Amino acid sequence: MSEADRRLSEESEQRFLDLYAHLLVYVNDRFDVIEEIETVADLEQHYTDELLPLRNTLYNESTTDLIEDFVEQNPADLSEADLEQVAAWTDFITGEFVVVRYREDDAIFLDWTEPPKTYAVRPARLPFADLWDESALPVPVSSVALLPFEDQIVYDGWIGIKNIIFGGSLSTDIDDEYEEAKHRFGIIDSLPAPEEDEKTDAEELRFYMKNKRNRERYASEIEHLREKSDELERIYHQEMGKARARSLGRELRELGLNEAYVAIYDDRIITVPPPNPRFASYSKRLCPLGRLTTPTSTTSIPKRESTAYDWSCVTVGAISLLVGSLENSNTLSPTPKAYLW
């Protein structure tokens, strides 16, 4: 992936740098941080690190008031469109982040304070590749300013890189916070950040059950939700079954089973179907072999026409595992806990 893939277009980058330079000149005029700077041309004669005290003044003082005063006074005689863009910078965010991912067009910055949030960020000055290689991620960074610009989020080119190497449990914690942030807010690609989407109990439970780490981390939340209703209890067992199905399929394949249909309850095989051609046709229709899929459907097994099941299918190679949740039956008491054929 080239550096350009993670940068603004040349035109947008130049526009951002010009507007930001005018704002910094205004800040310098107000606080006399660097004596010899009076114009943008003067500012451009200085190295980036020499301008850091000026940039920090912008965020150490009353930043919102400074931006609003600049827009109102318009000392640079900017157009209305440019003033509107600068005014949007009052939605800035500053702080410490962890750069956790590179994507095709941006990098993902994680703010893991509560609640954790992830931001899709583009550089407006220095490419990320000039700072660290992708193999070095995750990387903690400080003194970061994120700004809305042309319906995207950019950082202004100044960034502090902490000399910390993540590993072991800390790296795992970062991954956990990243997944939680995506679940709660999605990846935020514009500012101001949106409010948290309200999730249904079923959506929350499926997220908590997503993987082993989540199931351990949110054990108490899982127990609370599964006790709220039969439907949530059914989802709990279905997700547990799907989690176990993949590894169980590999184990069965290692035993030499080229094709098998089994019913599992959480992490245990509880039954296998009889050699019944009618059953086989139902099974193959529900769970086609040869592809990894997790469709769900409702059907009736031939011997129990009054019994409805909700099925999930997981295919691993040629092993198909049907995870079925009993919803009602004339012969058994209704319970979502039993996985039966």
* Residue-range domain boundaries for the chain: 3-90, 91-188, 240-328
8 A C-beta contact, residue 110 and residue 98 = yes
> Residue 194: pLDDT band by 50, 70, 90 thresholds?
confident
Residue 317 has pLDDT above 80, yes or no: no
Residue 314 has pLDDT above 80, yes or no: no
Q: Which of 156-160, 248-252, 253-257, 264-268 has the lowest mean pLDDT?
A: 264-268
Q: Which of 74-88, 223-237, 303-317, 327-341 has the lowest mean pLDDT?
A: 327-341
Q: Which of 195-199, 239-243, 247-251, 281-285 has the lowest mean pLDDT?
A: 281-285
- Rounded mean pLDDT of 224-240? 89
Most confidently modeled of 240-249, 265-274, 284-293? 240-249
- Rounded mean pLDDT of 61-80? 96
Which residues contact residue 249 at a Cβ distance below 8 angstroms, ignoring those fewer than 6 apart? 314, 315, 316, 317, 319, 320, 321
Quote the pLDDT of residue 124. 83
Residue 244 has pLDDT above 80, yes or no: no
Q: What count of Cα atoms within 13 Å lies in the side-chain half-sphere of residue 168?
A: 3
Query: Distance (Å, rounded) from C-alpha 117 to C-alpha 146?
Result: 13
Quote the pLDDT of residue 260. 62
Peptide bond into 192 cis (omega under 30): yes
Q: Which two tokens stand for residue 279?
A: 């059953």
Ramachandran angles phi, psi of 93, nearest 5°: -130, 130
Cα 19 to Cα 4, 49, 67, 148, 222, distances in angstroms: 21, 19, 11, 13, 50
Ramachandran angles phi, psi of 12, nearest 5°: -65, -40
- Rounded mean pLDDT of 195-221? 89
The proportion of the chain whose per-residue pLDDT surpasses 70, expressed as a percent, equals 70
User: Between residues 106 and 21, which one has the greater pLDDT?
Assistant: 21
Quote the pLDDT of residue 203. 92
* CA 336 from centre of chain: 31
Top-level CATH class of 91-188?
mainly beta
- Rounded mean pLDDT of 128-141? 86
Q: Closest Cα to residue 145, out of 165, 179, 119?
A: 119
Query: Distance (Å, rounded) from C-alpha 207 to C-alpha 187?
Result: 16
Residue 256 has pLDDT above 80, yes or no: no
Segments in 156-271 forming alpha helices (H): 168-185, 201-208, 212-217, 219-226, 230-254
User: Between residues 84 and 324, which one has the greater pLDDT?
Assistant: 84
Residue 26 has pLDDT above 50, yes or no: yes
Q: Which two tokens stand for residue 264?
A: 């599992």
Most confidently modeled of 30-44, 116-130, 256-270? 30-44
8 A C-beta contact, residue 18 and residue 81 = no
> Residue 251: pLDDT band by 50, 70, 90 thresholds?
confident
Query: Other C-beta atoms within 10 Å of 289: how many?
Result: 15
Kindly report each contact of residues 261-269 with a partner whose C-beta sits within 8 Å and lies 24 or more positions away, as own/partner: 261/287, 261/320, 261/321, 261/322, 262/321, 262/322, 263/322, 263/323, 263/324, 263/339, 263/340, 263/341, 264/321, 264/323, 264/339, 265/237, 265/241, 265/338, 265/339, 266/237, 266/240, 266/241, 267/240
Tell me 193's DSSP state. P
Query: Distance (Å, rounded) from C-alpha 185 to C-alpha 199?
Result: 10
Residue 212 has pLDDT above 60, yes or no: yes
- Angle of CA points 195, 191, 9, to nearest 5°: 145
Q: Closest Cα to residue 236, out of 201, 205, 269?
A: 205
Beta 117-123 vs 152-155: how paired, if at all?
parallel
Query: Distance (Å, rounded) from C-alpha 291 to C-alpha 45?
Result: 61
Mean pLDDT of all residues belonging to the chain: 78
Residue 29 has pLDDT above 90, yes or no: yes
User: Between residues 77 and 123, which one has the greater pLDDT?
Assistant: 77
